[in-house]
A and B are shown apart, each in its own frame.
Chain A
Amino acid sequence: MAILNSNVPSGPLATKWENHKFSSKLINPANKRKYKVIVVGAGLAGASAAATLAELGYDVHNFVFHDSPRRAHSVAAQGGINAAKNYQNDGDSVHRLFYDTIKGGDFRSREANVHRLAEVSVHIIDQCAAQGVPFAREYGGLLDNRSFGGAQVSRTFYARGQTGQQLLLGAYSALSRNVANGGVKLNTHSEMLDLVVVDGQAKGIVVRNLQTGELTRHTADAVVLATGGYGNVFNLSTYARGSNVTAIWRAYRRGACFGNPCFTQIHPTCIPVSGDYQSKLTLMSESLRNDGRIWAPAKVGDKRAPAEIPEGERDYFLERMYGAFGNLAPRDVASRAAKTVCDEGRGVGATGLGVYLDFAESINRLGEDKIRERYGNLFAMYHEITDEDAYKAPMRIYPAVHYTMGGLWVDYNLMSNLPGLFVLGEANFSDHGANRLGASALMQGLSDGYFVLPATISNYLAGQAPAKRPPVSHAAFAEAEGDVQKRIQRYLGGKGKRTPSSFHKELGKIMWDYCGMARNRAGLEKALGLLGNLREEYRKNLSVLGEAAEWNQALESAGRVEDFIELGELMCRDALEREESCGGHFREEFQYTKEDPEVRNGLVNPGDVKRDDTHFAHVAAWEYAGPDRKPILNREELKYEEIKMSTRSYK
């Protein structure tokens, strides 16, 4: 059994982080350069961490599988980044952001981490503005804000519909500066394929160069994984095609616990699936819900064009069900509502899997130009993909996999149960509980990278003798590289018929059908059976062409898909084990009904998620137990010192 100590500092919530920084160990500047830190990934978390660690004086080595750090998928985040600046004077505060985030996560995140996130949020905006991130501004020259789901204040900073891109370019520019001055050694086209653990501590990685196929070993005093989320386990998602679980999955197989793997975010406003050839689902930013109204026909099977459906026969279901937040209900709530409507047979479009996001009223009120100014690029993107004009007819949207709240388990210092292994951003499980609020992913990635890890990593490193890391000739490195070699040979030597992508499609369908927006015991058990078979089939019937020592995209995906299949099993197991509903995890067996007092008191609607704080107020941290053995479930109980867990109401 792994030992899970959250290492949350004692003392009042509001001063924990300040106190912790003060009591953390420091390393003198002359010694810092003797510590080598590997950072894998260069998205918001990875790039900001690598740059900041280098500024502090550590010897930083950054590994990315892309050709350039600027391509990491943080680039695709559209809507914005939250910060408790209260520039709008609308009653925001660190405490409110903290509370909204905890509540948004359905009381399944660690209180102290979330409070720290809210505290740090204000510094992120300062840092990014100083770097030249062109945030939207008002005519007075000061920063503008907009509203996002799950909040009743306007605290979201944005750069048109490309906030993620601009923040990433900011972090990338900081990284580039430190590459230029020698602080960061940048390794592009370098995919981490294994973690090296020496005497129970993470001390290195094995990397494959995607251009040449060469395998190399890299030793370090600490390894930082900032490799993003694993939503591509569903195959169809809003993730980039390259996004994968391999780095954290290999760390899991080397002993790092995986926290809450089943917590997946399904984003309500994506463009619906159009056919089975599809490789990717495209998000339409949540910011659209500021001005768009979501509706479906009130009558089952109403196939009329949207313009022909009179106002009285439309059901603005979010406004009807969640009056206080309306169209800005949190993502899990909005997605589930859309699914319910479609399950009732009221879905629109050819597949019946879609609802309308309608701008007609806003265009009438503000004029088309204003809407164009706010969302022009999103409307253009919608037009490119669907060949439809959303200025004239409402958009059709449907929920799609967008983010994973689960990830490697970390303590307050962002260190996994494997000492020396730090996990940042979407790759860890820490801050979003069972559901993430819009515009909080960017906040967490940058918080972890710019401010948290640089302050906490010294707690570990100070305990390591400087310049005493194991050499790459150590047996653990040879073993890890040997394992990677064997996998590659196995893939290339396969005599099967099917491509990795055909398996990926099949995996995605199983996951979406049984471990998607709604889950139940029978389905999850069935999925576990199907996934076991799929894993066997993968061993027997895989075909990968080409060679190891060259650019080989099929070989890359062969490893990633196999890891996804294994992850899929863990997700289903976790979902099965968690016999409650919370946030994005909706177990059909656990929902409010008309008989519940909360429904009668008007707090929630029938069909809303029903938590079980008595039995499940914990983080499920899964521990690898060996191939073909059931993983071990460890629990970190969630203790709320400051706030009370309560029924999550958006009515």
Chain B
Amino acid sequence: MILLLKIWQSSLGKKYIMALSGGAMLLFVLGHMAGNLQFFLAPTYINAYGHFLQTTPEILWTSRIGLLVMVGLHIAAAISLTISNRAARPIGYSGGLSAQGSTLAARTMIWSGLIVASFIVYHLLHYTLTLPQVNGYQVFAGEAMDFDGLVEPKTGYHDIFAMIVLGFKIPVVSGFYLLSVGLLSIHLGHGVASMFQSLGLRSYAWWPRIAALARVLSVVIFVGYASIPVSVLLGRGSDYVNEVRTSGKPAHVSPTSHSPSK
């Protein structure tokens, strides 16, 4: 406990927390992306994947709680560091500092981070808690939409595929998503390299490779995530959604198995 306190009290300690929690969240971001990319397979794959997670609470809740802790630590350390960083220069320069070798991404980590955090809140309300009030249908399409009622005709599982398609059909929602994924990728472009730096996993020989890894990851993550709303806006899944919404409850699925748990 004293060790944890010591870590928290030191500026380097907080950077370790930033790096480790950031690293954990990076793993989630990659895993989540891999899961999501099943969207490009037949609908049944992603629906089965969702069904598996929803019916395996030990995995679901361990990762949810773990992630929550990581997000909490990451944000708390970031805010605490930002406050002390600001305090370290009470009087600034007249024209501001010139960039001096730093990138915009590096200088604005707290902002990209906070915007992504607010997006995550929205994203959870949107797709995890599936609050009808936030999915934009009432405002932008003039109709109510409840993602909970979407059921895959073949399996009776909660139809995540359809939910994704319907969710991203609202351009404002897709736009916010793309913006946030963009910021996330910028955040990671600096963050991944900094993670290695903060933990001291860097040397003259390895730094160019680490920097390259960070750049590649940030592009992969952006393309991976952005491909989904973009493909929806380009029409993917429209036919399927119409089919789901018109067919109603499929006959061959037992009534007990389709009620989605959250």
Contact present between A and B (CB < 8 A): no
Chain A residues packing against B (C-beta within 8 Å): none
